[in-house]
Structure 1
C-alpha cells in the first residue's frame, strides 16, 4: 500500500511504533527517542497511511493501541528484533578484525602451502574466521562465478577480471616406480614418454591442462592408464607400478617412487592467490589479501 506521504515505512518507523506503544504517550516517546514530537507524529501518520489502519487512539493521558495497532506493534517488535540481529551478525561478518574470509584451494596444496598461510594469518588476525573449500580448479571457477568464495589459491591465473599474486613456483618431475628401468636416471625428456602409461588428473583440472600442454609441446600423446583428483594418490598408483606421472617435486618419493627431473624448460607449476577484481572484497578478505601480498605471511614452503 502506498503512503500518501510519498515515503515507504522504514525499519526506524517500526521501532518508533514500539516505543510509542511502550510509553503510551507521544511526547514521552519522542523524548526517549531523542527526536521531536512533530517528527515522531509524522512517522506514525506515515505508518497508518501505508498500512491503511489507525494504530493509536488518543486518550486524555496519552495514546492507546487500537486492535489493529496491537497486531502491528507485535509484528514490529519481531521485525525490529530480527533487523537488529541481522545488522549485528552482518557487522561481525564484515568486520576486518572479527569477520569471515572464504578461501578456496586446490587439493594438492592442503598439506603445505595453505596451512602455512593460515598459520601466519591466524597469528596476525586471530579473531578472523577462515572458511575453507578444498576443490579442483574448475569448481573454484564456478564458486567465484556464484560469489561463494572471496579468494583462492590456484595453479594458474584465471582468465577474465581476476587479480593474481604469485606465491611460489614448483618444479615438475616425472615419478616412476622403484622398479622402473629409468630409476637410476636423474632426468628425462618428455618426448621419451610416448611408450609409457600415464597416470594423471581428470580432464578439466588445472594440473591436467598443464601436463597436457607440456606433452603437446613435446609432440607426445601417451595413453592414460588411471586418473585421480588427488596428486598424492597418483604418486601412490605410480609406486604400485601402474604407470608414470608428472607431479610437483614435493610429491616424489612419498610411497617409494623415484623423481626424475624433466628437461622441458616450462616444467614448472606456478601457485598464486587470486580474487575477482570486478567485485569489492569484504574488509576481512581484503585484510587477508593485503597481508599475503605484503609478504608478512613469510616464505612459502618449497
Structure 2
C-alpha cells in the first residue's frame, strides 16, 4: 500500500463520504473509489459497510484506520528525524497539551524555547488528557503535557510541577469566607465537575472517596472555564486548580483545600518505545530542566 493511498483511506474513514473525501483530497471520485477497491482487496475484506449510498467504517476498517494513522505518523516522524539530523536546530515538534494549560504555562514555555531555538516549529493540539495521550500512542503527537500521570506503562513520564487544587464557590456562599478547608466541609453541596474520563475528574473522585463523600454532580463540563462559569451562576461548587493571578475568575471565590491529595502532577509524556526526534528531545530536555511555576 502506498503512503498516498493510506492518507486517502484515513480521509475517507474520517468523512465516510466519497464525494466529500475526493473534494478534500483533490482527486476524482472514480480515482478514489478504485483506490478503495484496491485497498480492500489487499486487506482481504470490506472496510466499510455500504448503507443508503453512504459509507460506514466497520470493525475491520477501525483496525485498518488505527494502523494507517500510525504508519503515516511513523513516516512523518522519519522525515522529521532525517531533517533534524541534517540540521539539529530545525524540524518540528508535535505537541499536545491540556486545555487548562493553554492560557499560561504552554504559551510561556513555547515563547522561551523559541527565543532560544527559533528554527524549531510546532504543531499544536489541545484537549483533555485521554485524547492527548491517545495522540501520543497513535503517533500523532511526539510529546504531551498532561495531568495526572497516566497509568499506561507504554509511556515515559517526567514530572514538570505540582499544581494545588482548591474549591471554587460563588460569592456569598457559606464557605466563601474561609481561607482553607478540607473537602469534607462541602458535604451536601451540589458539584460541577468534568466528565469521568478527564484527569481532573479522576483526582476529584479520589478526593471525595477519601473524605467519604458521594458528591451530587449536577453538571459535567468539558473545560474548567465552563465549570467556573456555572459555579459563579450558583449551580454548585467545583474542585479546580488554584488559579494563576491573571487567569482566575473574579466571579468565583477560591478556597484552598488542605487535603494531602488536593493536587495534581503535571508532567511530560511520550511513547516509551518510539525514539524522540532531535527537536522533540531538545524541547523535552528544555521543559524538564526549566524553572517551574
- Residue 84 of structure 2 contacts residue 278 of structure 2 at CA under 8 Å; is this kept in 1? no
Helix, strand or coil: the match of 2:187?
A: helix
Q: Deviations over 1:188-227 (max 9, x none)?
A: 2222323111011111001111110111111101111112
Say whether residues 1:229 and 2:222 are aligned partners. Answer: yes
Q: How does 1:227-266 map to 2 (within 5 A)?
A: 227-250=220-243, 253-266=248-261
Cα deviation for residue 290 of structure 1 reads 2.0
The alpha-carbon deviation at position 88 of structure 1 amounts to: 8.3
Structure 1's consecutive aligned runs of 4 or more residues displaced over 3 angstroms after TM superposition are 87-95
Separation in structure 1 between the aligned mates of residue 238 and residue 186 of structure 2, nearest angstrom: 10
Aligned runs of 1:18-97 on 2, under 5 Å? 91-92=82-83, 95-97=87-89
In 2: Cα distance, 1:231 partner to 1:106 partner: 11
From 110, 133, 143, the counterpart of 1:141? 133
Contact 1:197 1:223 in 2 (8 A): yes
Separation in 1, partners of 2:163, 2:171 = 23
Alpha-carbon distance in structure 2 between the residues aligned to 1:200 and 1:93:
42
- Alignment check: 8 A CA contact 2:193 2:221 kept: yes
CA–CA separation in structure 2 for the residues paired with 1:193 and 1:115: 34
Equivalent residue number for residue 132 of structure 1: 124
CA pair 240-292 structure 1, distance change in 2 beyond 3 A: same
Q: CA deviation at 1:91?
A: 4.0
| Gap change, CA 1:91 and 1:180, over 3 Å in 2 | same
Listed one character per residue, the Cα deviations across residues 109-156 of structure 1 (whole Å, up to 9, x for unaligned) are 001110111011101210111111101111112112211111010112
Distance between the aligned counterparts of 2:88 and 2:204, measured in 1?
A: 39
Q: Distance in 2 between matches of 1:156 and 1:96?
A: 31
Match of 1:142, SS?
A: helix
Q: Which blocks of at least 5 consecutive residues in structure 2 are unaligned?
A: 1-77
Question: In terms of Rg, which structure is larger?
Answer: 1
Partner of 1:273: 268
Could you say which residue in structure 2 is the equivalent of 1:186? 179
| Deviation, structure 1 residue 253 | 4.8
Q: Name the count of aligned residue pairs.
A: 212
TM (norm. structure 1) is 0.66
Q: Give secondary structure in 2 for the equivalent of 1:195.
A: coil
Rounded to whole Å, the distance in 2 between the matches of 1:238 and 1:122 is 37
Using the TM superposition, give the Cα deviation of residue 243 of structure 1 relative to its aligned residue in structure 2, in angstroms: 0.5
Q: What's the CA shift for 1:161?
A: 2.6
Tell me if the contact between 1:239 and 1:255 (Cα under 8 Å) persists in the aligned partners: no
Q: Cα RMSD between the aligned structures?
A: 2.0
